[in-house]
């Protein structure tokens, strides 16, 4: 390229101006000085909130503040952690994934206490167990619940019919009330419809079985309890479908191709319905959903939080309580399969309709009661890290045929070591 001196100078000046502008913008959102700013930024990830509701919030509050919503891709938690640690360009409102909430709680001082802003008055509208999971030890409420993930059992009613099993959700739920009943049903199904499997992998059973209890891997006194009976029971439950030959052992990304074909039942959260629908659109109308064997558990579900740097806490809180009001929550379910954390939404028309993918079944009748019955459990900051080796060992059983007893010993040893590294006694 032939660049004249003047051209070069112009380009250089423009570049400098542009970088100066970027820096200025960057600083703009970072300054914590004024607490009644007119510009608010909202960070969330694709699918965390209904895009329609967010767009409406912008116009709804345009008189008071200018709301800029950014859908952040990639590793959301990583980006948020980095930004909070750096202390500049922090969003005024941010999403936090349910599974990451526990690791943010030790740093609750980085966020505003929503109770001070009026969450206390409206908290009864939201599920108590979900709200509790975003409360620090000293009672600071840092997360405003967006959604939850009550689990259920999805099954192919037409194949159940073929096998001479009940197809009605209530009857299936009754016959698969406990895990043992469910596996017995699966054994029968496999006899009649050869080549079908009950669960995609045993890790998914383990996740739900652990979630059905009130204790996890670390207790409130910061002690490792991952070797105790409640975890051992969940582990044994997970091993059962493997020994019975009901485990499809899908540990790679071929789930999409198996669901609805060789995989005739599926355990998962409410939002999982959308995954099944997208992976197996030609099985539309053949699926039904019923209560999880052994009781409901929660998987996923997120929060909105206000970082300490928020430039207008009052307005920001108004915005999030508007976006997450039961009415808008119900719309979020219709738009993006986000299952509301506000029980009042469950009786709204947006949620009580029949779902054509499930043959017109009113799925809220399964998920609604499940949402309210989820046991409240304490989740320690290191919980997710400590849980990982159990998954590893379960996949080792499936992939290498490792002896379950050896796998259990290795999982506990490994989990204990990770716990110790993270400062657990």
Partner 1 sequence: MLSHWRQYLAISPFFVVFGVFSFFPVFYSLYLAFQRWDGMGTMEFVGLQQFRFLWTDPVFWMSIRNTLVIWVLSTVPTLFGALVLATLLHSVRRFKGFYRIALYLPNVTSIVAVSIFFGAVFSNNFGLVNAILGTVGISPVPWLSNPWLIKLVIALLMTWMWTGYNMIIYLAGLQAIPTQIYEAAKLDGAGPVRTFFQITMPIMRPIILFTVIISTINGLQSFSEPQVLFGSNAANPNLGGPGQAGLTTLLYFYQSAFVNNDYGYGAAMVWAFFVLIMVLVVVNWRLVQRGRKS
SS3 76: helix
Single out the segment in contact with partner 1 by CB under 8 A; choices: 44-52, 106-114, 123-131, 142-150: 106-114
Instruction: From 200, 183, 193, 197, select the one nearest 158 (Cα to Cα).
Output: 193
Q: Does 91 bind partner 1 (CB under 8 A)?
A: no
Among 13, 18, 21, 257, binds partner 1 (CB under 8 A): 257
SS3 141: strand
Q: Does 402 bind partner 1 (CB under 8 A)?
A: yes
We find the least distance from the C-beta atom of residue 85 to partner 1, in angstroms, to be 5
Neighbours of 2 (CB within 10 A): 4
Question: Which lies closer to partner 1 via its Cβ, residue 64 or residue 395?
Answer: 395
Among 233, 236, 251, 352, binds partner 1 (CB under 8 A): 251
Q: CB-based contacts of 149: which residues, under 8 Å, 6+ apart? A: 98, 269, 270, 271, 272, 298, 299, 300, 301, 339
Among 385, 411, 412, 415, binds partner 1 (CB under 8 A): 385
Task: Compute the distance between CA of residue 367 and CA of residue 372 in angstroms, rounded to an integer.
Answer: 9
Run of H or E including 39: strand 39-44
Question: Which lies closer to partner 1 via its Cβ, residue 105 or residue 185?
Answer: 105
For the range 249-255, what are the long-range contacts, defined as Cβ-Cβ under 8 Å and sequence gap of 24 or more? Answer: 249/201, 249/398, 249/399, 250/200, 250/201, 251/201, 251/203, 251/395, 251/398, 251/399, 255/200, 255/279
Q: Does 388 bind partner 1 (CB under 8 A)?
A: yes
Among 14, 85, 174, 376, binds partner 1 (CB under 8 A): 85
Question: Which lies closer to partner 1 via its Cβ, residue 169 or residue 211?
Answer: 211
Among 52, 58, 110, 308, binds partner 1 (CB under 8 A): 110
Among 84, 165, 209, 304, binds partner 1 (CB under 8 A): 84
We find the least distance from the C-beta atom of residue 163 to partner 1, in angstroms, to be 23
CA distances from 367 to 84, 136, 165, 214, 370 (A): 35, 28, 23, 20, 5
Single out the segment in contact with partner 1 by CB under 8 A; choices: 39-47, 199-207, 288-296, 342-350: 199-207
Q: Does 75 bind partner 1 (CB under 8 A)?
A: yes
We find the least distance from the C-beta atom of residue 421 to partner 1, in angstroms, to be 5
Residue 359 DSSP class: T
We find the least distance from the C-beta atom of residue 317 to partner 1, in angstroms, to be 22
Q: How many residues bind partner 1 (CB under 8 A)?
A: 44
End-to-end CA, the chain: 65
Q: Does 78 bind partner 1 (CB under 8 A)?
A: yes
Q: Does 217 bind partner 1 (CB under 8 A)?
A: no
**Longest distance between any two alpha carbons in the chain, whole Å:** 85
Q: Which residue has the tokens 């689990």?
A: 151
Question: Which lies closer to partner 1 via its Cβ, residue 283 or residue 396?
Answer: 396
Q: Does 423 bind partner 1 (CB under 8 A)?
A: yes
Run of H or E including 267: strand 265-269
Run of H or E including 26: helix 5-30
Q: Does 237 bind partner 1 (CB under 8 A)?
A: no
Task: Compute the distance between CA of residue 113 and CA of residue 135 in angstroms, rounded to an integer.
Answer: 9
We find the least distance from the C-beta atom of residue 41 to partner 1, in angstroms, to be 19
Among 381, 408, 412, 415, binds partner 1 (CB under 8 A): 381
Q: Give the count of alpha carbons within 13 A of 141, CB side only.
A: 20
Which residues are at the interface with partner 1 (CB under 8 A)?
75, 78, 81-82, 84-85, 103-104, 106-107, 110, 201, 203-204, 207, 249-254, 257-258, 381-382, 384-385, 388, 391-392, 394-396, 398-400, 402, 414, 417-418, 420-423
């Amino acid at each position: 390229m032939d660049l004249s001196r003047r051209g070069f100078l112009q380009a250089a000046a423009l570049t400098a101006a542009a970088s100066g502008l970027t820096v200025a913008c960057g600083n703009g959102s970072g300054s914590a000085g004024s607490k009644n700013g007119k510009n608010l930024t909202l960070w969330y990830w694709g699918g965390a909130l209904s895009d329609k509701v967010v767009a409406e919030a912008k116009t709804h509050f345009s008189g008071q503040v200018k709301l800029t919503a950014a859908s952040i891709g990639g590793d959301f938690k990583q980006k948020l952690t980095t930004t909070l640690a750096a202390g500049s360009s922090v969003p005024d409102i941010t999403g936090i994934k349910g599974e990451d909430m526990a690791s943010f709680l030790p740093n609750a001082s980085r966020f505003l206490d929503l109770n001070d802003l009026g969450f206390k008055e409206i908290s009864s509208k939201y599920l108590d167990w979900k709200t509790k999971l975003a409360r620090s030890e000293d009672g600071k409420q840092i997360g405003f619940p967006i959604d939850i993930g009550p689990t259920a059992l999805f099954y192919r009613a037409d194949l159940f019919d073929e096998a001479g099993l009940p197809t009605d959700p209530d009857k299936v739920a009754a016959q698969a009330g406990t895990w043992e009943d469910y596996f017995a049903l699966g054994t029968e199904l496999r006899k009649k419809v050869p080549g079908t499997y009950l669960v995609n992998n045993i890790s998914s059973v383990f996740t739900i079985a652990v979630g059905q209890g009130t204790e996890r891997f670390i207790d409130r006194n910061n002690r490792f309890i991952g070797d105790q009976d409640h975890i051992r029971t969940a582990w044994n439950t997970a091993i059962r479908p493997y020994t019975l030959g009901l485990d499809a052992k899908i540990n790679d990304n071929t789930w999409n191709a198996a669901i609805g074909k060789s995989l005739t039942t599926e355990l998962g959260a409410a939002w999982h319905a959308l995954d099944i629908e997208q992976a197996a659109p030609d099985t539309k109308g053949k699926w039904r959903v019923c209560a999880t064997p052994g009781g409901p558990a929660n998987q996923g579900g997120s929060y909105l939080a206000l970082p300490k740097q928020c430039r207008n806490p009052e307005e920001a809180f108004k915005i999030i309580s508007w976006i997450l009001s039961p009415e808008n929550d119900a719309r979020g379910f219709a738009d993006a399969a986000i299952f509301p954390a506000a029980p009042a939404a469950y009786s709204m028309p947006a949620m009580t309709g029949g779902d054509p993918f499930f043959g017109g079944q009113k799925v809220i009748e399964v998920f609604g009661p499940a949402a309210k019955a989820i046991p409240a459990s304490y989740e320690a900051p290191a919980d997710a890290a400590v849980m990982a080796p159990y998954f590893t060992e379960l996949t080792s059983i499936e992939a290498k045929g490792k002896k379950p007893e050896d796998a259990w010993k290795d999982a506990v040893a490994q989990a204990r070591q990770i716990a110790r590294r993270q400062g657990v006694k």
